[in-house]
Amino acid sequence: MKKTFLTGLALGTMMLGMAGMAQALPLSYYGGNIDTLLDQTYLENAGDATEMAWVDSVLGGTNVLTYKYDVVGGDWSAVDGLAGVFATPLNYQPDYFLIKTGANSGNANTHFLFDNLASLDWGVISLVQMGFSEDNIKNISKISHIDEINGGNNDVPEPASMLLFGTGLVGLAGLRFRNKKS
């Protein structure tokens, strides 16, 4: 009983450790590729409808706002060796994403539309390409929110899958122990 419990505990811990590694792998996967900046504009006090009308005018047709969320500086990771380049995980693997910035970034525009090319799981942007001033290319906290546009469905993230798999293995080990004991 004790040996089976310890084996299950060790296996579960290993699965959780693998889930943490899976979360970190995509950051190196994109290989430093920066998503393409398609267009930028200034929209005063824009709401969802105004932002999507602008996106539709740039992309043509009707596009779907899949997910919108506020971001803070801590949500972004600086890309090693590339000044002013930052990456953040995206939730629904969107075809496009829109970034809204705050004032005083060095660029008069507030809304930036990107084609999500490098890795659908990550948004990778260059503050230099966005026209941020030299003083602000290290200040990722100027970004207010992200709109994910035309995204797919990503209901079960990788860490949760690993946790479910590990739990299933522990359950199977428990059943085997119970059958062996009988």
Write down the mean pLDDT value for the chain: 78
pLDDT score of 76 more than 60: yes
125-143 residues labelled b (16+ CB within 10 A) or e (exposed):
bbbebbbbeeebbebbebb
Vertex 37 angle, CA 36 and 39, to 5°? 140
Point out the least confidently predicted range of 8-12, 76-80, 165-169, 178-182. 8-12
What is d(CA 130, CA 142) in angstroms, rounded to the nearest whole number?
12
- Residue 55: CB atoms within 10 Å: 23
Say yes or no to pLDDT of 16 above 60.
Answer: no
Mean pLDDT, range 96-117, rounded to an integer: 87
Q: Is the pLDDT of residue 20 over 60?
A: no
Q: Could you tell me the pLDDT band of residue 14, with boundaries at 50, 70 and 90?
A: low
* Three-class secondary structure assignment of the chain: CHHHHHHHHHHHHHHHHHHHHHHHHHHHHCCCCCCEEEEEECCCCCCHHHHHHHHHHHHCCCCCEEEEEECCHHHCEECCCCCCEEEEECCCCEEEEEEEECCCCCCCCCEEEEECCCECCEEEEECCCCCCCHHHCCCHHHEEEEEEEEECCCCCCHHHHHHHHHHHHHHHHHHHHHHHHC
More confident residue, 58 or 118: 58
Q: What is the pLDDT of residue 1?
A: 58
Q: How confident is the model at residue 182 (pLDDT cuts 50, 70, 90)?
A: low
Segment 60-70, tens digit of pLDDT = 999 999 999 99
